[in-house]
Chains A and B, each alone.
Chain A
Amino acid sequence: DQQVKQNSPSLSVQEGRISILNCDYTNSMFDYFLWYKKYPAEGPTFLISISSIKDKNEDGRFTVFLNKSAKHLSLHIVPSQPGDSAVYFCAASRAYNTDKLIFGTGTRLQVFP
């Protein structure tokens, strides 16, 4: 049973445009969410997180939106750059148990010139 789902396995975006990566979760106990980026042959790199008390968190070109009622979060990258091409994982946990991250299946983003 996949508690965190990324239904788009891949996404292709032109440089300079917005990339929107989506993530859905089923467990209503989750209240802390993270996005990681992974290049080939490297471990995941933390990008941005959001707590359920917020609906938006912004860090430079990266913004994460959380819709608790829909159990949905999204990562917006504006403007997209070729160096953003990677696999993006969303992850979720329960705040009192943040040692146990549940990862989504990942979305491969390709940003082309």
Chain B
Amino acid sequence: DTEVTQTPKHLVMGMTNKKSLKCEQHMGHRAMYWYKQKAKKPPELMFVYSYEKLSINESVPSRFSPECPNSSLLNLHLHALQPEDSALYLCASSQVIAGGLGEQFFGPGTRLTVL
């Protein structure tokens, strides 16, 4: 299994809603990532988990709350989002190798619209 899966594919939410994005991989990767991608822009790193511990938070607002319940799962909890948070949210995973991390494998993304 060389896939990273993400659910849901599309999500529309109001500014007062609470929702969660889910990501799963079964490649035995011990690093997982959340990226945000706006239209016609490159993916921007949000969070990195290594061995289920948060290792990087790129100064992301607290209305985004990541969670890594085990080595295969990564969640992104959303609360009180703003319309400008509408974007494609990509999950990725990679091996942890000597000297750093391996190539990242991406999921298809969740297209989020905040009304």
CB-defined contacts of A32 to chain B, threshold 8 Å: 100
Interchain CA distance A99-B50 in the complex, whole Å: 9
**Residues of chain B with a CB closer than 8 A to A46's CB:** 103-105
User: Bound complex: CA of A41 vs CA of B4, how far in Å?
Assistant: 14
Is A85's CB within 8 Å of the partner chain B? no
Q: Which residues of A contact B92 (CB under 8 A)?
A: 43
Interface residues of B in 83-110 (CB under 8 A from A): 90-92, 94, 99-109
Interface residues of B in 31-49 (CB under 8 A from A): 31, 33, 40-45, 48
- Chain B residues with a Cβ closer than 8 Å to the other chain, count: 29
- Give the total of A residues in contact with B, Cβ under 8 Å: 24
For A96, list chain B residues within 8 Å (CB).
Answer: 99-100
* A43 and B106 contact, Cβ closer than 8 Å, known pairs A103-B42, A106-B42: yes
Residues of A participating in the B interface, judged by any CB pair closer than 8 Å: 4, 32, 34, 36, 41-46, 49, 89, 93, 95-101, 103-106
